[in-house]
Amino acid sequence: MTSLLPILTFHDIMNRPSVISIPSEVFRKGIDKLYQSGYRTLRLTDIADFIRSRVPFPDRFFVLTFDDGYASVYNEAFPILNRYGMSATVFLTVGDEKASRKGRERLPSLGGRVMLSWEEIREMQRTGFEFGAHTLTHPDLTRLPPDQAKSEICESKKIISDTLGIPVKSFSYPYGRYNEQIRDIVRQHFVCACSDKLGAVSRKSDIYALERVEMYYFRSHNRFNIIGTSLFPWYMRAVSIPRRFKRYLQYA
């Protein structure tokens, strides 16, 4: 039994350096190391159940999440995770209804990147991957009028559940931004939601603002290998201080 459990957040997996990508070799070796150390994946919605029912987390488990829905989730991460019997939750930015009605094969591009196709999403779904909502157009929800924010949240859920024929239970706030009003809308429509608060989840975590481990801070072999060791909580604390300072400057 353990009191803390990490939810890892990835975006794109590619060798071109960027703030939202991690090299495929680092991903492959990092996942292999976690597997060899006895780590296995839990579903994100299981975490919400553990917290709700006040049951301690099992040892040597973690959760994998991917935000946005880049094609590299299918091309790079899926074959590796499949090999180890691991699963993940992928948060999809699905585009507005008009675009989805056109039967667009791929999700609309974010930042010029190639996104997942619904065919790829269905294939991953068949092996146990879960899909959560990440809005229609990836806005900062806190800057939208309430009606528009509600439509971004609820319409994206509807498009995914209609297309895949499954209930959509989890949500991820674009840029990690939310306020009480946004959290309240999400609470009425989802089982849990992920924020970008840096940290591991505990029994005290808010299930509508779950902490996550942004893999930007672990994008080299040496740093990835810290996950699952006793150094991990120390390293997380060390990176969260400059991050909070940066946020303070951003809003000052």
Query: Does residue 68 belong to the site contacting Zn ion (CB under 5 A)?
Result: yes
Query: Does residue 211 belong to the site contacting Zn ion (CB under 5 A)?
Result: no
Evaluate whether 115 touches 108 at the Cβ level (below 8 Å).
yes
- DSSP state, 136? S
172 to 191, contacts with Zn ion by CB under 5 A? Answer: 174
Options 61-69, 155-163, 189-197, 217-225: segment touching Zn ion (CB under 5 A):
61-69
Evaluate whether 77 touches 57 at the Cβ level (below 8 Å).
no
Query: Does residue 152 belong to the site contacting Zn ion (CB under 5 A)?
Result: no
Query: Does residue 67 belong to the site contacting Zn ion (CB under 5 A)?
Result: yes
| Three-state secondary-structure class, residue 221 | helix
Closest distance to Zn ion from the beta carbon of 56 (Å): 31
Nearer to Zn ion, 174 or 199 (CB): 174
Closest distance to Zn ion from the beta carbon of 60 (Å): 28
Which residue, among 138, 151, 142, 150, has the nearest Cα to 179 in the 3D structure?
A: 142
Please state the φ and ψ torsions of residue 192, each to the nearest 5 degrees: -160, 165
Options 16-24, 65-73, 192-200, 218-226: segment touching Zn ion (CB under 5 A):
65-73
Evaluate whether 176 touches 208 at the Cβ level (below 8 Å).
no
Closest distance to Zn ion from the beta carbon of 193 (Å): 13
Beta bridge partners of 10: 66
Binding site for Zn ion (CB under 5 A): 67-68, 174
